[in-house]
Amino acid sequence: MQLDNISQKILSTLQSEARITNQDLADRVGLSPSSCLNRVRKLESAQLIGPYLGTLNLPKICRSVEVIVTVSLKDQSTEAFRTFQTAAQGHPEVVECYTVSGSFDFFLRIVAPDMARYNAINDQLLDILPGMVNISSHVVLTTVKPFRGYPLDTLIEE
Amino acid sequence: MQLDNISQKILSTLQSEARITNQDLADRVGLSPSSCLNRVRKLESAQLIGPYLGTLNLPKICRSVEVIVTVSLKDQSTEAFRTFQTAAQGHPEVVECYTVSGSFDFFLRIVAPDMARYNAINDQLLDILPGMVNISSHVVLTTVKPFRGYPLDTLIEE
DNA sequence: GTTGTCACCGAATTTTATTTGGTAGGTTGG
DNA sequence: CCAACCTACCAAATAAAATTCGGTGACAAC
């Protein structure tokens, strides 16, 4: 699927203002509401744009701790990777997980109600591949910049 | 602001389905549309729920590389921290940034069109505090679990 | 030139959001 | 205990938005 300027603008607008009305969106991109809606539906069907999320202000809602975790596997077999991935996906507290190149194998972001709970999760992760996994925890002190979408401007074209 | 069960359900529903209609939301939480809308407005005013984001499927939209970056400052003065934070916030390619405890000072997630661009950004970050900053890059190989909201169930009550 | 496709628009219709009283429950102060 | 006062709710009316439905023009294939 190739994107003209209008579809790009739809994507970047919906990325940052998911609850905009179709009419407003149509105005912004210079289409009629019906055409605009057609485009949005196509972008959704093609899965260029996925779920729409409300961003919660967690500190205002409940007590919580956020931890960024680096993981290295001593046994870097495909099997070990898959085992760890599956386990990470199964934990709702693991809100984000990546495999990476370089000096670590995984980065996780974990959110728990308190340190005791975090510690329990940490232990569970260590138990996945006993003795074969190296985990370092980094408690988040401040969120300097929360994720608010990708910079499409700097990514597309040029 | 204290949250009863209904408001919690509103928050968790909007977190994962930001474009739900107010009528459907009202049905789900067992309120009339007008009461439900009232609640949502209050939650928004109190900033318990913030911007609504559409999640883009970046690989389907354009070529890009994603890098997770660890940063350590040699000079851990307040001044150095603030300088680095401000710089990170100024780069649109830095889509996420945290200060953390432990063996690093910052974690960043950076998205660039290609490695050459990423390298340029990396250089710019190094130039912020010449010789005083230690940066390690970890190219994202796979997204095991993308962020899709916090697990409110495990965070609230008990 | 004819046919088919595609994306668009405007208008009609359906659905949703929003506003506007009106009511019940709970609290406060007399 | 009662009255004044909140608060949160609902139902109904209105305003706005989403969605559907032809109809048109541009373009490509034949």
pLDDT tens, position by position, B63-107: 999 999 999 999 989 999 999 999 999 999 999 999 999 999 999
How many angstroms away from the CA of B43 is the closest CA of chain A?
Answer: 10
The protein side of the strand C contact, defined by CB less than 7 Å from any of its atoms, consists of A 6, 30-36, 38-39; B 21-24, 33-34, 37
**With the C-alpha atoms ordered A101, A104, A106, A107, is the resulting torsion angle positive or negative?**
negative
Whether B25 sits with its Cβ under 7 A from any strand D atom: the answer reads no
Share of chain A above pLDDT 90, in %: 95
Tell me whether residue B154 is in a domain.
Answer: no
Looking at the structure of chain A, the number of domains it has is: 2
Q: Please check whether residue B4 touches A, CB under 8 A.
A: no
Triad A134, A105, A52: Cα angle to 5°: 115
Tell me whether residue A11 is in a domain.
Answer: yes
Does A67 lie in the same domain as A129? yes
Tell me whether residue B25 is in a domain.
Answer: yes
Name the pTM for this structure.
0.94
Residue B158: its pLDDT value, please? 54
Torsion of Cα atoms, A13 then A18 then A23 then A25, to 10°: 0
Tell me whether residue A153 is in a domain.
Answer: no
Whether B90 sits with its Cβ under 7 A from any strand D atom: the answer reads no
Q: Please check whether residue B69 touches A, CB under 8 A.
A: no
pLDDT tens, position by position, B3-58: 999 999 999 999 999 999 999 999 999 999 999 999 999 999 999 998 999 999 99
Does A48 lie in the same domain as A30? yes
Q: What is the CATH number of the domain that holds A86?
A: 3.30.70.920
Q: What is the CATH number of the domain that holds B24?
A: 1.10.10.10
Residue A154: its pLDDT value, please? 96
Does B72 lie in the same domain as B47? no
pLDDT above 80: residue A2: no
Domain that holds residue B132: 58-139
Judged by CB atoms closer than 8 Å, whether chains meet at B15 and A56 is answered as yes
Q: Helix A22-29 vs helix A5-16: angle between axes, to the nearest 10 degrees? A: 140
Does B46 lie in the same domain as B28? yes
Please report the DSSP string for B22-89 in residue order.
HHHHHHHHT--HHHHHHHHHHHHHTTSEEEEEEEE-HHHHS--EEEEEEEEESS--HHHHHHHHHHHH
How far is CA A110 from each of CA A97, A120, A137, B110, rounded to the nearest angstrom? 9, 12, 10, 19
Place B157 in a pLDDT band, splitting at 50, 70 and 90. confident
Whether the CB-CB separation of A61 and B156 falls below 8 Å is answered with: yes
Q: What is the mean pLDDT of chain A?
A: 96
Tell me whether residue A145 is in a domain.
Answer: no
Chains A & B: contacts with CB separation below 8 Å: 245
Does A117 lie in the same domain as A62? yes
Q: Which of A47, A111, A144 is the best residue to mutate to test the B interface, defined by the most B CB atoms within 10 Å of its own CB? A: A144
Tell me whether residue B79 is in a domain.
Answer: yes
Q: Which of B22, B100, B124 is the best residue to mutate to test the A interface, defined by the most A CB atoms within 10 Å of its own CB? A: B100
- In chain D, which nucleotides are within 7 Å of a protein Cβ? 8-12, 16-22
Does B88 lie in the same domain as B30? no
Q: Please check whether residue B102 touches A, CB under 8 A.
A: yes
Does A49 lie in the same domain as A83? no
